[in-house]
């Protein structure tokens, strides 16, 4: 799972049911989660995210975030 790249995508109202394993019950356009082993080397850049509660939600994942655009997103980035 290390070294993934999510670049120049358009995402809207994604993951409508959340992710019960991650403890997320709201919409999240991008959700990256590991329960135990940290995820490293993730790049999330230049994406258009819209119509979600969370634009980018991560837990136990160290991600490089730059140049993302948010439209009608309540929480742009949550990193835990």
Q: Is the pLDDT of residue 14 over 90?
A: no
Q: What pLDDT digit, counting tens, does each position of 53-70 carry?
A: 999 999 999 899 999 999
Per residue, what are the HEC states of the chain?
A: CCCCEEECCEEECCCCCCECCCCECCCEEEEEECCCCCEEEEEEECCEEEEEEEEEEEECEEEEEECCEEEEEEEEEEEC
- At residue 16, the pLDDT reads 84
- At residue 31, the pLDDT reads 95
Residues ≥6 apart with Cβ < 8 Å to 68: 44, 45, 46, 47, 48, 49, 55, 56, 76
Q: Is the pLDDT of residue 73 over 90?
A: yes
Q: What pLDDT digit, counting tens, does each position of 15-34 carry?
A: 888 899 999 999 999 999 99
């Amino acid at each position: 799972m290390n070294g993934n790249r999510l670049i120049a995508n358009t995402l809207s109202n994604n993951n409508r049911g959340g992710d019960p394993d991650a403890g997320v019950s709201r919409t999240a356009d991008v959700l990256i989660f590991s329960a135990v082993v940290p995820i490293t080397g993730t790049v999330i850049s230049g994406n258009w995210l819209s119509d979600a509660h969370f634009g980018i939600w991560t837990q136990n994942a160290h991600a490089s975030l730059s140049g993302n655009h948010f439209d009608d997103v309540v929480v742009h980035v949550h990193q835990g």
